């Protein structure tokens, strides 16, 4: 009997170890990493109204950073934002809304009125796409530079040097993905895929399925 | 023989269940952050001089943003943290530093803060700073705050994000507790983090 028991416990140990390896290798559940807390902010939008990070709680938010005088095509930032919006129906999002935010790092020229004109010129749907900035340049640098980790610098000749980027933030205010480099897969496709991964995690964020998703975080089963 | 086999199978199944329970990963009650970078280091003022987050490297640091006139959320959260530390015992509590950052420097002097936080646990520290510095620190920790609508100059409330943050021993933001986290949940996660 002792021999049977011993073999049983060996089998038990093997099952646990193999299950853990299988989870890691086959990654049946994919998640996006919880990279850091997104910065909190109180900006002014294209309607000259306060626009805060608090209003975006509960929504997935795609941020990008630019200035309205950026010579076209300006890294295709607007094109990507518009493509993601027009193809949102391809993603199963459940009840979660997606908001889009373009933050200008040129508050001297990008006043609320200018941002509004700019939004109209590119035919942006401002019910879900906001354009915002703040005249507090020091705080703006903190929010964009340190908070969203996006480099920008005023060249002094009317143009800015900056790293084109998109940042995806979840409904808890946590940065879940950053898109800063050209890859073989267009940003639009990756962003849409990641929105789907996030939505699936939200819909499984209670009960036993939550445990499986936490295991996916633990085993770093990240969606490409 | 069949009876013996049934016992063996039963014991193995019980062992399997116990094994899964024993080897299960810790399930955090807060949200785990997997940041590749250490959290933003800041320096603010306490009743005993300047305090930097990095002063407590090697300890778990709990950071809470609030203010002493806060009617309900702040005292409830700080009381829960204080009770969680008592539950963990002096040895473990000595490896944890709780810092309350006041969002109300006009009314919360460092001395007043020190007196306030001591009500919850003797080890707590209260710090604050200029509005400019607080705007920077809060933004980078995802804390939104503003005076409530309808407030007067002397008598006002502050709406603020009520999360409780846990920085690990190496200075990385590891855990975010939502408002409403219980004493047992705080103690459970801190106990696990202290073992790591």
pLDDT (tens digit per residue) in A81-133: 999 999 999 999 988 999 999 999 999 999 999 999 999 999 999 999 999 99
Architecture of domain A36-218: 3-Layer(aba) Sandwich (3.40)
For chain B, domain boundaries: 29-195
Burial letters B104-140, b for 16+ CB under 10 A, else e:
bbeebbbebbbebbeebbeebbbbbbeeeebbbbbbb
Residues 140..179 of B with a Cβ closer than 8 Å to A: which? Answer: 140-146, 161, 173, 176
Q: Which CATH superfamily is domain B29-195 in?
A: Glutaredoxin (3.40.30.10)
Q: Does the pLDDT at position A2 exceed 90?
A: no
Give residue B22's pLDDT.
59
Is A16 close to B20, i.e. CB distance below 8 A?
yes
Give residue A222's pLDDT.
87
Lowest mean pLDDT among A1-10, A16-25, A53-62, A64-73: A16-25
B172: which chain A residues are within 8 Å (Cβ-Cβ)?
Answer: none
Residue B90 to chain A, least CA–CA distance (Å): 30
Give residue A84's pLDDT.
97
Give residue B12's pLDDT.
63
Is B34 close to A35, i.e. CB distance below 8 A?
yes
On average, the pLDDT of chain A sits at: 90
pLDDT (tens digit per residue) in A30-84: 899 999 999 999 999 999 999 999 999 999 999 999 999 998 888 889 999 999 9
Give residue A21's pLDDT.
62
Alpha helices in chain A (DSSP H): 2-26, 77-86, 112-121, 137-140, 187-203, 207-218
**Regions of chain B with pLDDT less than 70:** 1-5, 8-9, 11-13, 15-25, 150-151
3-state DSSP assignment of residue A51: strand
Is B142 close to A39, i.e. CB distance below 8 A?
yes
Q: Does the pLDDT at position A10 exceed 90?
A: no
Alpha helices in chain B (DSSP H): 2-23, 73-88, 90-93, 110-118, 131-140, 183-195
pTM for the complete prediction? 0.87
Lowest mean pLDDT among A83-92, A153-162, A212-221, B58-67: A212-221
Q: Is B34 on the interface with A (CB under 8 A)?
A: yes
- CA B152/CA A210 separation, integer angstroms: 45
Secondary-structure breakdown of chain B: helix, strand, coil percentages, each rounded to the nearest 5? 40, 20, 40
A34: which chain B residues are within 8 Å (Cβ-Cβ)?
Answer: 31-34
For chain A, domain boundaries: 1-30, 36-218
**Which residue pairs from A218-223 have beta carbons closer than 8 angstroms and sit at least 24 positions apart in sequence?**
A218/B25, A219/A20, A219/A23, A219/A24, A219/A27, A220/A33, A221/A23, A221/A24, A221/A27, A221/A29, A221/A30, A221/A31, A222/A30, A222/A31, A222/A32, A222/A33, A223/A30, A223/A31, A223/A32, A223/A193, A223/A194, A223/A197
Q: Does the pLDDT at position A26 exceed 60?
A: no
């Amino acid at each position: 009997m002792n021999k049977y028991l011993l073999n049983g416990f060996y089998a038990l140990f093997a099952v646990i170890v193999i299950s853990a390896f299988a989870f890691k290798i086959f990654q049946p559940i994919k998640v996006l990493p919880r990279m850091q807390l997104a910065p909190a902010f109180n900006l002014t939008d294209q309607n000259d109204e306060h626009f805060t990070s608090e209003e975006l709680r509960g929504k997935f938010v795609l941020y990008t950073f630019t200035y309205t005088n950026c010579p076209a095509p300006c890294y295709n930032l607007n094109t990507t934002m518009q493509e993601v919006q027009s193809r949102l129906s391809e993603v199963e999002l459940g009840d979660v809304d997606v908001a889009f935010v373009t933050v200008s790092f040129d508050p001297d020229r990008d006043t609320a009125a200018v941002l509004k004109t700019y939004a109209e010129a590119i035919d942006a749907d401002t019910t879900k796409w906001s354009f915002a900035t703040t005249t507090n340049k020091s705080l703006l640098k903190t929010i964009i530079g340190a908070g969203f980790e996006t480099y920008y610098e005023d060249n002094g000749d009317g143009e800015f040097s900056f790293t084109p980027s998109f940042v995806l933030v979840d409904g808890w205010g946590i940065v879940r993905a950053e898109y800063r480099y050209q890859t073989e897969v267009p940003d639009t496709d990756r962003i849409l895929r990641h929105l789907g991964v996030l939505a699936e995690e939200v819909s499984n964020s209670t009960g036993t399925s939550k445990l499986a998703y936490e295991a996916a975080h633990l085993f770093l089963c990240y969606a490409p | 023989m069949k009876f013996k086999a049934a016992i063996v199978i039963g014991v193995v199944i019980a062992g399997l269940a116990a094994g899964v329970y024993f080897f299960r990963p810790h399930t955090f009650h807060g949200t785990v952050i997997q940041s590749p970078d250490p959290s933003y280091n800041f320096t603010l003022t306490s009743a005993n001089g300047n305090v930097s987050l990095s002063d407590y490297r090697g300890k778990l640091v709990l950071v809470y943003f609030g203010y002493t006139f806060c009617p309900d959320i702040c005292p409830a959260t700080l009381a829960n943290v204080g009770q969680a530390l008592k539950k963990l015992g002096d040895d473990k509590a000595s490896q944890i530093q709780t810092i309350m950052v006041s969002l109300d420097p006009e009314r919360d002097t460092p001395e007043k803060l020190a007196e306030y936080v001591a009500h919850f646990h003797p080890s707590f520290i209260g710090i604050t700073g200029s509005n400019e510095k607080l705007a920077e620190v809060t933004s980078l920790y995802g804390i939104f705050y503003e005076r409530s609508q309808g407030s007067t100059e002397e008598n006002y409330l502050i709406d603020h994000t009520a999360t409780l943050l846990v920085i690990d021993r190496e200075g990385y933001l590891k855990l975010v507790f939502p408002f409403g986290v219980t004493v047992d949940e705080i103690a459970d996660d801190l106990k696990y983090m202290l073992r790591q």
